[in-house]
């Protein structure tokens, strides 16, 4: 796994299942991968297709949910309209800038996939992984 802020926040680390009666882990890494692959639909994000064994790339999932991957490579680049707004903003009356900000905010809310003020997709994903794991392991 790559070194970043989110790579250690895997479902296995989140749930920290107790070992089985024989001291073995409650679920194998392969079972976790299958549970993740079966649960990824909850996120409703563009992700790479599962691999041949039915597992999904967990790094890509974590980048899309806990990182900023879902916003694309140009996430820090302002659109031409926004750059123009910031160029003329010092010369506009306060009432006009407030009105433009309200219009912009309304458009962003309708286009955004994020649930504001609470983004619960990753939490729902973790619950679905646990459900799939319980279904798989019995």
| pLDDT-above-90 percentage for the chain | 20
Provide φ and ψ at 69, rounded to 5°.
-60, -30
Provide φ and ψ at 24, rounded to 5°.
-75, 155
Q: Is 135 a residue whose pLDDT tops 50?
A: yes
- The dihedral sign for the CA sequence 125, 127, 130, 132: negative
3-class DSSP state of 97: helix
The more confidently predicted of residues 37 and 21 is 37
3-class DSSP state of 71: helix
From CA 70, how far away is CA 72, in angstroms rounded?
6
| Pair of tokens at residue 39 | 């649960």
Residues in the chain: 138
| pLDDT-above-70 percentage for the chain | 83
From CA 50, how far away is CA 21, in angstroms rounded?
32
What integer is the mean pLDDT of 63-92?
A: 83
The pLDDT-based confidence of 67 (bands split at 50, 70, 90) is confident
What integer is the mean pLDDT of 92-103?
A: 90
The pLDDT-based confidence of 128 (bands split at 50, 70, 90) is very high
């Amino acid at each position: 796994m790559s070194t970043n802020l989110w790579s250690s926040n895997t479902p296995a680390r989140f749930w920290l299942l107790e070992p089985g009666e024989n001291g073995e882990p409650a679920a194998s890494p392969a079972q976790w991968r299958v549970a993740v692959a079966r649960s990824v639909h909850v996120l409703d994000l563009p992700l790479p297709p599962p691999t041949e064994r039915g597992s999904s790339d967990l790094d890509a999932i974590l980048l899309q949910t806990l990182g900023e991957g879902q916003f694309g490579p140009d996430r820090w680049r302002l659109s031409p309209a926004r750059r123009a707004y910031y160029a003329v903003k010092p010369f506009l009356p306060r009432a006009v800038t407030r009105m433009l900000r309200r219009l912009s905010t309304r458009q962003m809310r309708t286009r955004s996939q994020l649930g504001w003020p609470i983004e619960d997709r990753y939490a729902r994903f973790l619950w679905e992984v646990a459900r799939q794991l319980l279904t798989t392991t019995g």
